[in-house]
Amino acid sequence: MLQTSPQLDATFAALADPTRRAILARLAQGEAPVGELAKPFDMSLPAISKHLKVLERAGLVSRGREAQWRPVRLEAGPLKEAAGWIERYRKFWEQSFDRLDSYLQRLQAEAAKSKSAIKPSSKERKRGSGK
């Protein structure tokens, strides 16, 4: 369960550089060859390739195999992992509320049944608030 931290460290380390963040922002719009990624920067291709290797090691980008120019594409997984803690909370509570919803239906159905069978209230209150 604690294995996620090294991946997060790699993700944040890779994101710490403004050039690499700019590359990712460009890739968020679609895959691109290295030459095109290099264009907005005053940098050599080898320098850009170095950044891409860091991003690739962090799992943030991958390189295509099919085309000769090997397009670079974004891998959203690690970012999602980094930013997804609330999603777990939401799922946790949404699923709890599903259970609460049906539990409340059961409680109220039982209450209605015992009301019509016996006398109202006192038994009911015990069920609701007693130990």
What is the binding site for other proteins (CB under 8 A)? 1-2, 4-5, 8, 12, 15-16, 21, 24-25, 28, 76, 79-80, 82-87, 89-101, 103-105, 107-108, 128-129, 131
What totals of helices (H) and strands (E) does the chain contain, helices first? 7, 2
**Nearer to other proteins among residue 85 and residue 122 (C-beta):** 85
CB of 44 to other proteins, least distance (A): 25
Note whether 38 and 45 are within 8 A (CB): yes
Please answer whether residues 9 and 44 qualify as being in contact, where contact means their C-beta atoms are separated by less than 8 angstroms: no
Residue 68 Cβ, how far from other proteins at the closest point, in Å? Answer: 28
Q: Which is nearer to other proteins, 67 or 107 (CB)?
A: 107
Strand-strand pairing, 72-74 and 61-63: antiparallel
Name residue 73's beta-bridge partners.
Answer: 62
